[in-house]
Structure 1
Amino acid sequence: MEDRAMQDDENARTGNQVQGAASFSKFMTVLQSIADAPRGLDIGQLTKSVPFPRGTVYRLVAALVAEQLVVHHREDGTYRLGPRLLQLAAKTWESSDLRTVAREFLVSLRDATDEVVHLAVPSSNRMVYIDKIEGSNTVQMKTSIGGQVELHSTSVGKAWLSGLSDDRLNEVLGQLTLRRHTEKTYTDPDRLRKELIKSRERGYAFDDEENEPDIRCVGSPIFDRSGEPVGAISVSMPVYRHDPERHAKIASLVFKTAKDITAKLAVII
């Protein structure tokens, strides 16, 4: 009798674990669907993107909102990633090997340029800033640690893309929506591909007011020991502090810094 009771307890625990895992999987499916949508999803779009009944989606979203993992933007009815999730992600980035390895190099780059320096990594066909160091010169930019930007319109995104193999580059470009941010944003896939090949050949990418007006950025990719791009760094500056001579100097510094980080990663990771 005792053995049977123990077996029944074990079966109950196993059943609860399976049920719990299934519920967790549903939450993760909804969360991933929201994360993959740059502009968020309203409830109708979300219901179409996940294999659950509308009522289940409502309950899952309500629970995610209650835990601040998702926020509801009332102005357009969309759901997007919430502050708690970004806080949890920031904890991971703080202990990231790449962020730790790159930090001293980023500080040196900031000191050499006195401009804003960024470190970003790819996430769901976007780039996420995992570090940002300000220079003494003020630059009004829409960037922050944890912020996401698109691949095609930023120097970190274009730098990362330029580090991909041709096959992988074509695959990723086929998934992108080349949304226009300024008059200079690349919205034609063929023109963008040519620019990325040029970036690959010279070792750095250039954002010429393509993401924000009056802001120019120079970025270079960081590679792991297998030669895969794992992130990118950039220096950003206002147009009035950018000229051909300064461009050449900063491009050289960014390229060298990315190479130094790549070399350090190969030894440590």
Structure 2
Amino acid sequence: MCGRSMTFQAPPWPKMAGIRLARPFPNLTFMASRAPTGEFAAPPVAGTAAFSKFMAVLQLVADLDEPTTIGDLAKRSGYPRTTVYRIVAALVAEGMLRENPRNGTLSLGPRLMQLASRSWARSDLRLAAIEALKELRDLTGETVHLAVPNGNTMVYIEKLESISAVRMASRIGTAVSMHSTAVGKAYLAALPAESRERLLPRLDLPRYTEHTVQDLDVLRRQIETFARQGWSVDEEENEAGIYCFGGAIRDPRGEPLAAVSISTLRFRQKQDKQAAYIRPLLEACRTIERRIAETPAFDSVREP
């Protein structure tokens, strides 16, 4: 089948308020191909361009904080509007995107969330960490996050809400910057010095609050301090009014593969709770590391 053009019959046209074509969306044509066995770093093969466009559109929707439109997706992606029409129609039909019947805006669909939820629920790392995370949340009364590196960002794979009425904007599946978060800084601080120096210049340093560090030299010195003390802090750098403390989780080889954070409101720091947070945070990280070491077939989520 390598190199052959294959036509896939589209599923029945969904009832969509914001996407109307003159006829059911046309059949989508892809170039089918087979990647070399066991080799994922092979040169691009025919057919991957179409798949990459689908993934790019999904990623755009996922990265936006609010529902979006086809016009906005076309503008952001640079793809022709007709191409985006076809991609969105197929993704909606498969449940990967959801279209609001009232205004035609698009958001992530139930099928995608179901797949992600199952992946996270079955994650060896999450399973190894969940009990320690619950204990940490119950002990501190604060929101607890578990995050893993993904390229130049950290992705939350677990979040346990504070027992108080206060709720944070973060959610499972969200990708956050390394330079502005406690989980990101804890991960950077735990990296070997050479690996850290390779990664730091590649980071984007967007400003999220007036406290966000955007100077690379300042960030480097900050990370070096965190490396010496063994934990990190985010002082309203990612979200106004929120302080976070982070600790790294290492695999049996001693390499960082994830990070845990405790998030609290700024005014609570007046009660000098920092000292009360750090010890249980680091104990939770060590407990998770022991659970990982005891898992024979632990599937590390750390990038190769």
Question: Structure 2 residue aligned with 1:235, among 256, 262, 271?
Answer: 262
Higher helix fraction (1 or 2): 1
Cα distance change, pair 138–24 in 1 and its aligned pair in 2 (3 A): farther
Matched, 1:67 2:94: yes
Q: Is the 8 A contact 1:126 1:151 kept in 2?
A: yes
The share of aligned pairs that are identical, in percent, is: 38
Report if the CA contact (8 A) 1:116-1:139 is conserved. no
1:223 aligns with 2:250: yes
Conservation of the 8 A alpha-carbon contact between 1:98 and 1:265:
yes
Look up the equivalent residue of 1:235 and give its one-letter code: I
**Structural mapping, 1:47-66, within 5 Å:** 47=78, 59-60=86-87, 62-66=89-93
Q: Distance in 1 between matches of 2:283 and 2:85?
A: 50
Residue equivalent to 2:178? 151
Distance 2:89 2:193 in 1: 42
1:213 maps to which of 227, 240, 261 = 240
Q: Residue by residue, what CA displacement relative to the aligned partner does 1:236-269 show, whole Å, maximum 9, x if unpaired?
A: 1111222474101201211121122112212212
**CA distance 1:97–1:182, shift in 2 (3 Å):** same
Is 1:249 aligned to 2:276, yes or no? yes
Counterpart in the other structure of 1:135: 162
Alpha carbons of structure 1 residues 97 and 194: separation in structure 2 relative to 1, 3 Å: same
SS of structure 1 residue aligned to 2:204: coil
Q: How many residues align?
A: 250
Opposite residue 46 of structure 1, the aligned amino acid is S
* Offset of residue 98 of structure 1: 0.6
Q: Is the 8 A contact 1:35 1:80 kept in 2?
A: no
Partner residue in 2 for 1:102: 129
Contact 2:57 2:73 in 1 (8 A): no
Structure 2 distance, partners of 1:173, 1:189, is: 8
Cα distance, 1:158 vs. partner?
1.3
CA deviation vs aligned residue, 1:161-197 (integer Å, no higher than 9, x gap) = 2222223223322222211111111111111111111
CA distance in 1, matches of 2:194, 2:115: 34
Match for residue 32 of structure 2 among 10, 20, 25: 20
Change (3 A) 1:214 1:30: same
User: Structure 2 CA distance, aligned partners of 1:123 and 1:68?
Assistant: 25
Q: RMSD over aligned Cα, in angstroms?
A: 3.3
Could you say which residue in structure 2 is the equivalent of 1:29?
A: 52
Letter in 1 for 2:287: D
Where do 5+ consecutive residues of structure 1 fail to align? 1-10
Give the Cα–Cα distance (whole angstroms) in 1 for the partners of residues 157 and 96 of structure 2.
19
Question: Which moved further from structure 2: 253-262 or 15-24?
Answer: 15-24
Give the secondary structure class of the aligned counterpart of 1:89: helix
- Mean Cα displacement is larger for which, 57-66 or 243-252? 57-66
Q: List alignment gaps of at least 5 residues for structure 2.
A: 8-29, 34-44, 65-71, 299-304
Provide the residue aligned with 1:91 in structure 2.
118
State the shift of 1:155 in Å.
0.9
Q: Is the 8 A contact 1:106 1:133 kept in 2?
A: yes
> Relative to structure 1, is the Cα distance of residues 95 and 55 closer, same or farther in structure 2, using a 3 angstrom cutoff?
same
Conserved 8 A contact 1:120-1:131: yes
Report the TM-score, using the length of structure 2 for normalisation: 0.70
Shift of residue 35 of structure 1?
6.6
The question of 1:172 aligning with 2:199 is answered: yes
Q: Structure 1-normalised TM-score?
A: 0.78
In the TM superposition, residue 211 of structure 1 has moved relative to its aligned partner by 1.0
Look up the match of 2:77: 46
